[in-house]
Amino acid sequence: MFIVSKRNYMVRRADGSPYLIRKDYIGDIPEDVAESRLVRRAIRAGMIFSPPGRGDRQLEEADKAAEEKASENDIRPDAEMSASGAEAAVDREAAVDREAAGEQSSGKRGAKNQR
């Protein structure tokens, strides 16, 4: 649960350990702490503010939906590359890397930079 606290609160968790909510704390707290009587009373009293919407969760859900929609509607030819096509692309990249390494070792690239 996302909260904004106006005071310090020490909440005793179910396992007996304390959980400290500091004054001016802004952020998430664990669900077991959010369900404690102390936190619920402080929310009702206005000493802890909890926004009604779950902005972060809504954004995450919207991002997931957009990502799924984008992957379904992606018409780029490289988006649906088969496994053999992916292997061929890796082989081409390796060949380019070997050529680049060969140029560096022969000094061709260095001669251009010295002019």
Cβ pair 36, 90 in contact under 8 A: no
Mean pLDDT of 2-7: 92
Encoded amino acid at 100, one letter: A
H/E run at residue 61:
helix 55-72
Name the residue with higher pLDDT: 72 or 6.
Answer: 6
Between 86 and 22, the more confident residue is: 22
Could you give the C-alpha distances from 39 to 6, 30, 55, in angstroms and in order?
A: 12, 11, 20
The Cα–Cα gap between 82 and 108 comes to 37
pLDDT digits (tens, 9 = 90+) for 92-104: 666 666 666 665 5
pLDDT on residue 25: 94
The model's pTM: 0.46
Band of residue 83 on the pLDDT scale cut at 50, 70, 90: very low
